[in-house]
Structure 1
Amino acid sequence: MSDSHERSEMEREAARRAREARRSERASTPPVLRMEAPPASTERPARPAGRRPATPRTPLSSRLPSPPRARRPRGVRRVRLLFLGLCVVLVVIVGWFLNALLQPLGGSGSGQVRVNVPEASSTAAVGDLLARDGVVASGFFFKIRAELAGDHFRAGTYRLAHGMSYSAALTALLKGPALPPSVEVTIIPGKSRYQLDRLLHAEAVPGSYLAATVHSPLLNPRRYGAPAHPPSLEGFLYPDTYQLPKPLSISALVADQLTRFKVEMAKVNLAYAAAHNLTAYDVLKIASLEDAEAALPGDLAKVASVIYNRLALGMDLGLDTTAAYAANNYSGNLTAAQLASRSPWNTLNHPGLPPTPIDSPDLAAIEAAAHPAHTHDLYFIVRVCGNGALNFTSSYPQFLLWSRQYDAALAARGARRTEFCGHG
């Protein structure tokens, strides 16, 4: 035991001296930053109990804080975002404009449309004309396309189509008029066959309008509730403006009128009239009476209401215009004999509706006849100095009072019409 103790003391003394030697050596030698490689041995060195293993020091450069990143002011970021948003909107607008202008999916259209280009028409006027007739989608974009191409168009009548692309319409127009020169004919609503025959004869149009409107293979009146053999096509000759080839042909005019009538009549809902036991032909009769009696569109449905109410009560319609039709006298001065005529068209002497319409009504009058105003009125009369307006009432004494006022105004004006007192 003593030997081991002495050796232990000696060993401790040797270790102490060795430590002092190392300390003195480190004090005399300047410190050097060294990175020593770990020992090649895979064995882990034993560590003294109660002490944590030494943690390798991180190089000084890696422990220094990173310099702060410069932040852009919020205003700059907002400006950039706004600029980017405007760029996106601009791209969308340009894309839409080019698509609308170039129409990459546009075609040659469908159906047929006759378009008359007047003399000295501007590109803008031609574009508006095509857009109005449904040939192109926009007169504005058509004008741009035509001006970019430097195109100019000749006056005349063209055969085009509905829904054409701008390029297809330009191509068709540049080929020149496809149809011969045309003439524009306007048929005023409320005019009878007799009146139109006189007008066409006065314009030196060859042929007879009366003869051409007795019947036609283009329209069967029985489909509209007319009798098997109506005396004429009165009521089916739709009033409108028609573009017809020169020289004007009455048969071509009648064909266009009948074709247009079928198109317009198909738009009318006849359920209300059917509920009152009226056919489509009866509706045409009522519409023709409205057009003959009412000068203002706002009075059409009111006149129809009076007719419906009188029919429901079994009263005579008592309309002077039917006596004028029966006598073919449209001067406004019916004779006593004409007013007393026993013609079935004279509703002063015959109950119910006349056998046929007394003129050709337009769509507004037909719609009013199919959907009359809901009133209890039984009478109407021209309003003195009313510029064509009518007075309506359900009272017969009131009607008589207005009648006396009208007669007095007529006498004071020397038998001149009293509707338009401001016109002399």
Structure 2
Amino acid sequence: MTDEYDADHETPLLAGEPVDEGDDGTSYDGGRRRGARRRNVPGCIAVLVALAVVAGGFYFVVTWSIDKIGDQFSSAEDYPGPGSGKVTFQVKKGDTVAAMGRNLKDAGVVASVEAFINAASANQDSNSIQAGYFPLVKKMAAKDVVEVLVDPKNIVKSTVTVPEGLRVKDTITILAKKTKYSRADFTKVLEKPGKLGLPDYAEGNPEGYLFPATYDFGPDATPASMLTAMVKRWRQAADDAKLEDSAAALGYTPQELMTVASLVQAEGRGDDMPKIARVIYNRVENPDNGITNGLLQIDASVNYALDRVGVAALTQAEIDSVADSPYNTYTQPGLPPGPIESPGDEAIAAAAHPAEGDWLFYVTVNLKTAETKFTDSYDEFLTFKQEFKDYCATQSDRC
């Protein structure tokens, strides 16, 4: 606080100070008695000296106290490092520097919260610390901890990429390969899927709902948490496509829309997906057209019934071998009972928002470029089909 001088306050007369009588021959000088002025000087000097001693002593005491307090707090307790042992430390989303410091101190990594805050303040990259798990040790120097945390390359994670169009069994094969858990661990969770967050209309079947994406799983991830994360990511895609509202507008259940999305994922790519979705809806909605008779005739669905993937074309013998399967879209009209694989964002969006058109047929005439042709004419469809056969005659490794 800055002391202010009060011009209206006058210093009082000191006790014991002699007072002139005025009529004893002493003279006044400028309204003061000269004799009194002379007699007061020694006393004033003595008083000022006494005050200086007192004030000086007070200043010494205050200064000494501040110095002692400063000695105690000017440098926070810190470890010299490099430390030892092993600590996997988690920075949670939304953590402040102070929160990190408290958690680091509790984990035995830093000596004090203050040391970590000071080190973070001194590091210009500390505001870019990302959420994740970091490899640290106990009793580290605070500045060394900050240097680890500011580098996202130090985040401990298992990165797993699950491509579009995989069945559940293929998805858990990838998860088992890329994590420390076995297929049996994931299968055990899937046997009781109630806690995964599946929608009610999935009826406990995760097929189609383990969303294909790249995931960064932390070191404490479990089979249950991984599968739950995949269903949660599906929910995001479903919300983005307004899946439930779109299904109602199209006259289908959400489960049926997911089934369409899985067929679209198996059959199309890119801009063709909304067109393929429209072909599926056209066939389902016109069972008495005398051409397709409500049959989707989608090879991918029959392959699902055959429990295999990666086959572009079917033989008649293969179709006949699973004639009674509800997934055999050559013998059973309408949609199969559920998704055949996991669709991605584009396929779900295509099923929710199909293109406008009267097409009943499509043929991918070039598997390398994914060129697909659409028509509502059976004769033109046969022409496209022959084009595909000619392609396969020279590209047998792709057909």
Check whether TM > 0.5.
Answer: yes
The aligned counterpart of 1:303 is 276
In structure 2, which of residues 246, 254, 259 is the aligned counterpart of residue 285 of structure 1? 259
Counterparts of 1:217-232 in structure 2, within 5 Å, are 217-222=195-200, 225-226=201-202, 229-230=203-204, 232=205
Kept after mapping to 2: 8 A contact 1:205/1:248? no
The DSSP-based 3-state class of the residue aligned with 2:366 is: coil
Gap change, CA 1:337 and 1:183, over 3 Å in 2: same
User: Corresponding residue for 1:32?
Assistant: none
Q: 1:384 aligns with which of 343, 354, 366?
A: 366
* CA contact 2:359–2:376 (8 Å) conserved in 1: yes
Distance 2:331 2:177 in 1: 34
Task: State how 1:53-68 maps to structure 2 within 5 Å.
Answer: none
Q: Does residue 1:188 correspond to 2:163, yes or no?
A: yes
Greater Cα offset, 341-350 or 368-377 = 341-350
Residues 196 and 114 of structure 1, relative CA distance in 2, 3 Å threshold: farther
Take 2:128 and 2:245, find their aligned partners in 1: how far apart are those partners? 48
User: Secondary structure at 2:195's aligned position in 1?
Assistant: coil
Q: How many residues align?
A: 262
- The code of the aligned residue for 1:365 comes to A
- The residue aligned with 1:361 is 343
Structure 1 unaligned residues grouped into runs of 5+: 1-110, 116-145, 161-169, 419-424
Residues 165-221 of structure 1, C-alpha deviations (whole Å, 9 max, x = no match): xxxxx9x96684999821111111211112223334555741334443352313243
Deviations 1:96-116 (A, max 9, x none): xxxxxxxxxxxxxxx96499x
The residue aligned with 1:338 is 318
Is 1:273–2:247 an aligned residue pair? yes
Residue 235 (structure 1) aligned with residue 212 (structure 2): no
- In structure 2, do the counterparts of structure 1 residues 394 and 386 end up closer, same or farther at CA, with 3 Å as the change threshold? farther
Tell me the alpha carbon deviations over residues 55-110 of structure 1, each in whole angstroms, 9 at most, x when there is no partner: xxxxxxxxxxxxxxxxxxxxxxxxxxxxxxxxxxxxxxxxxxxxxxxxxxxxxxxx
For residues 190 and 343 of structure 1, the distance between their equivalents in structure 2, rounded to whole angstroms, comes to 21
Pairing partner for 2:297 from 304, 315, 318: 318
- How many Å apart are 1:252 and its aligned residue? 2.6
In structure 2, give the amino acid aligned to 1:404. Answer: Q
2:261 and 2:343 in contact (8 A); partners too: yes
Q: Following the alignment from structure 1 to structure 2, what is the Cα–Cα distance between the partners of residues 258 and 156? A: 24
In the alignment, the residues of structure 1 paired with residue 130 and residue 245 of structure 2 have an alpha-carbon distance, to the nearest angstrom, of 44
Q: Which runs of 5+ in 2 are unaligned?
A: 1-90, 96-119, 135-142, 288-293
Counterparts of residues 256-267 of structure 1 (less than 5 Å): 256-267=229-240
Question: Equivalent of 1:401, from 358, 383, 386?
Answer: 383
- Residue 416 (structure 1) aligned with residue 397 (structure 2): yes
CA contact (8 A) 2:196 2:224 kept: no
The amino acid of 1:297's aligned partner reads G
Give the TM-score, by structure 2 length: 0.57
1:291–1:361 CA contact under 8 A, matched in 2: yes
SS of residue paired to 2:132: strand
- Code of the residue aligned with 1:371 in structure 2: it is H
Separation in 2, partners of 1:114, 1:386: 46
Q: Which amino acid aligns with 2:217?
A: L
Q: Name the aligned partner's letter for residue 231 of structure 2.
A: L
Shift of 1:405: 1.9
Q: Residue 366 of structure 1: SS of its match in structure 2?
A: helix
Deviations 1:262-312 (A, max 9, x none): 233223334443133201111111111111111x21111011000111111
- In 1, the alpha carbon distance for the partners of 2:286 and 2:175 equals 41
The residue matched to 1:351 in structure 2 has which SS?
coil
- In the aligned structure 1, how far is the partner of 2:94 from the partner of 2:218? 11
Partner SS state of residue 240, structure 2: coil
Q: Residue 200 and residue 243 in structure 1: after superposition, are their counterparts in 2 closer, same or farther (change >3 A)?
A: closer
SS at match of 1:383: strand
- The answer to whether residue 325 in structure 2 is matched with residue 349 in structure 1 is no
What CA distance in whole angstroms lies between the structure 2 residues aligned with 1:387 and 1:205?
A: 37
Q: Give 1:159 deviation, angstroms.
A: 6.9
**Correspondence for 1:327:** 306
| Amino acid in the other structure paired with 2:319 | L
Contact 1:182 1:246 in 2 (8 A): yes
Cα distance 1:301–1:317, how it changes in 2: closer, same or farther (>3 A)?
same
Q: Alpha carbon RMSD of aligned pairs, Å?
A: 3.7
Normalization by structure 1: what TM-score?
Answer: 0.54
1:373 maps to 2:355: yes
- Contact conserved, 2:279 with 2:359, CA < 8 A, in 1? yes
In the alignment, is the contact (CA less than 8 A) between 2:159 and 2:217 conserved in 1? Answer: yes
Quote the residue 2:183 is aligned against.
Answer: 207
Q: Would you say the 8 A contact 1:323–1:345 is kept in 2?
A: yes
Larger radius of gyration: 1
Q: Specify which of 225, 229, 241 is matched with residue 252 of structure 1.
A: 225
